[in-house]
């Protein structure tokens, strides 16, 4: 059994997961920012 191949596969999988989560965050973050701004204004003007 070749351990270095296994480690390489694990690292590649982690890299893919990280890039996917970063892409998801870049889509979600502006939405969260918008929601929190709207929420703040509603509380502020209420």
Six-digit token string for 7 = 């480690």
What's the alpha-carbon Rg for the chain, to the nearest Å? Answer: 20
Confidence class of residue 28 from pLDDT cuts 50, 70 and 90? very high
pLDDT number for residue 14: 96
Confidence class of residue 15 from pLDDT cuts 50, 70 and 90? very high
| Helix ranges (DSSP H) in 1-46 | 3-45
pLDDT mean over 10-33: 94
pLDDT number for residue 46: 59
Q: Does residue 41 or residue 33 have the better pLDDT?
A: 33
Six-digit token string for 6 = 């296994």
């Amino acid at each position: 059994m070749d351990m270095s191949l296994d480690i390489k596969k694990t690292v590649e999988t982690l890299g893919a997961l990280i890039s996917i989560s970063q892409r998801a965050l870049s889509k979600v973050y502006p939405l969260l920012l918008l929601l929190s701004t709207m929420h703040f204004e509603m509380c502020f003007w209420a």
